[in-house]
Amino acid sequence: MKIILVLSLTLTFLIMTQFQHKADAQLLQSRGEVICRSMDVSHLSAVSKRYGGVVVLGIITNNSTKTHENVGVAGEFYDSYNKLIGVESSLAELSVLAPGDRTPFKIETDISNQTLDHYTILCGSSGRQPG
């Protein structure tokens, strides 16, 4: 089961990475901050699509000793005046993360790359199982 999960996560990350390099997407230089408790976010990147909108991609790792359920992320998007210009949320690809498990996530927004200056990613879960 763990091997299938690892292969699935690896394949998903490779697909997400390929998405960044398509002709209709451009990697943004926006600054991103992460706020998470007992989980870690890595491989964080923001991609601007040619036809508008921004997609934030990353991987969440459960660093705790407890299993997290309904794992989700939220993005707060700001302009250069530090004004909040949008908030979007999404569930991670795997909604249950055992200790040490990882899962990719994607947050999509209609905010233009000309408006976006920086963003904050928050992650959490609705509950934890004893573990």
| pLDDT tens-digit map of 85-119 | 999 999 999 989 999 999 999 999 998 888 888 89
Q: Which of 3-17, 41-55, 60-74 has the lowest mean pLDDT?
A: 3-17
Find tokens 């530090």 and name the residue. Answer: 82
3-state helix, strand, coil in the chain (%, to 5): 15, 50, 35
Q: What is the CATH number of domain 2-129?
A: 2.60.40.3230
Find tokens 């700001």 and name the residue. Answer: 78
pLDDT, one tens digit per residue, over 13-58 is: 434 433 333 333 344 445 666 677 788 888 988 888 777 889 999 9
For residue 105 the two structure tokens come to 């996530």
Domain boundaries, the chain: 2-129
